[in-house]
Amino acid sequence: MTGFRTDAPAMLPVLSRGKHRNARKGACFMEFASFLAGERWSDHPACTHPLLAAVARLVNDTVSDEYRPHLAPLIPQVIGVKSDDPRMTVQIALRTSTTALPVASAERQRVLAVACLAAERVLAELEERPFGRMSDHTIIAMAKAPDAARWARDFAKGEPTTVKGFLRYAAPTAVRTSVEGIARACVPDPEQMLHDLLAGAIAEGRAFVDAESHYDDARWAAACGLTGTANA
């Protein structure tokens, strides 16, 4: 990867929930990304993988107004992160599921544990290898939710997993359940966990591409001027 900028910008946009007609009405995470990418104003820009964009929208809309500006330094990192490789979708879903599984409620843990197992099976199929040892993230997450893990293994025995079904249905469900699970979890700092969830999903996506950060001081300043600014 090249052009990856990790320092925070001098000023941060005032991000807000939902979609907006234009920057003067406000901006969410992905709308700001569309502006930086030089695309038509949209919360579904072509510059970012659809599932990664979904993670960003959900996290943006879930955190508080006070915390949301802290997400802004991640915005340039989603631009150009897209691929037709279905493994990107699976890895993003797996990363979000394993992050949320240990802290989610029991009901959501079952959904997430099933998603983890399904993702591992789909990855094995896509990579044309036998389903065997799971990733470290999955092993650790399942160990922290043993009841859900046992339930999921029993459930998965009678539920075939298809690549198409996982990409279309299971992956978006896993992402949505992960964000909801963390937001409602009894943890000291759920907003920081949601921030880490988004950062982890971005990292999974960027592993598939050689994406530039698309950080341009002048364009960032112009966008902040339209949406408002806040101190880091």
Tens-digit pLDDT profile for residues 16-50? 988 887 777 779 999 999 999 999 999 999 999 99
pTM of the predicted structure, to 2 decimals: 0.90
pLDDT at 78: 95
Q: Range with the lowest mean pLDDT among 20-24, 48-52, 72-76, 87-91?
A: 20-24
pLDDT at 226: 78
Q: Which residues pair with 15 in a beta bridge?
A: 27
182 vs 229, residue with greater confidence? 182
pLDDT at 143: 98
For residue 157, pLDDT over 90 is answered with no
Mean pLDDT, range 197-201, rounded to an integer: 97
For residue 212, pLDDT over 90 is answered with no
